[in-house]
Amino acid sequence: MKAAFFEGPGKIVVRDTPDPVCPPGGLLTRVEACAICGSDLRSFEAGSKYQGQIIGHETIATVIEVGEGVEGFRVGDRVADCPVTCEKCKYCEAGSNNLCLQRGRVGGRPQGGFAELRPVLASAVQGGFVVKIPGDILPEHATLIEPLACVINGQEKLDWRPGASVAIIGAGPIGILHLLLAKRQGAGKTILVDLKDERLDLARKFGPEHLVNGGRQDPVDEVMRFTQGEGADIVIVACVSATAQAQALEMAGRMGQVLFFSGLPETSPMVTLNTNLIHYHELRVVGARSSVKRQWDMALELIVSGQVEPQAIVTHAVSLENIVEGFALVRSGKALKVAVKP
Q: Name the site residues for Zn ion (rule: CB under 5 A).
A: 37, 85-86, 89, 92, 100
Closest distance to Zn ion from the beta carbon of 22 (Å): 25
Helix (H) or strand (E) holding 319: strand 314-319
- Closer residue to Zn ion, CB minimum distance, 37 or 54: 37
Closest distance to Zn ion from the beta carbon of 209 (Å): 27
- Closer residue to Zn ion, CB minimum distance, 86 or 176: 86
- Closer residue to Zn ion, CB minimum distance, 92 or 232: 92
DSSP-assigned letter for residue 1: -
Measure the CA–CA gap between 258 and 273, rounded to whole angstroms. 13
Q: Three-state DSSP class for 126?
A: helix
Instruction: Tell me whether strands 337-341 and 27-35 are parallel, antiparallel or unpaired.
Output: antiparallel
- Closer residue to Zn ion, CB minimum distance, 77 or 146: 146
Measure the CA–CA gap between 105 and 133, rounded to whole angstroms. 26
Nearest to 144, CA basis, from 302, 327, 292: 302
- Non-local (6+) Cβ contacts of 261 within 8 A are 150, 151, 154, 174, 178, 236, 237, 238, 288
Closest distance to Zn ion from the beta carbon of 290 (Å): 8
Closest distance to Zn ion from the beta carbon of 188 (Å): 29
Closest distance to Zn ion from the beta carbon of 59 (Å): 10
133, 323, 325, 334, 335 from 11: Cα distances, Å: 32, 11, 12, 21, 21
- Closer residue to Zn ion, CB minimum distance, 257 or 262: 262
- Closer residue to Zn ion, CB minimum distance, 73 or 261: 261
Closest distance to Zn ion from the beta carbon of 186 (Å): 26
Closest distance to Zn ion from the beta carbon of 36 (Å): 9
- Closer residue to Zn ion, CB minimum distance, 201 or 297: 297
Residue 192's DSSP bridge partners are: 168, 211
DSSP string, 90-125: HHHHTT-GGG-TTTTTSS-PPP-SSBSEEEEPHHHH
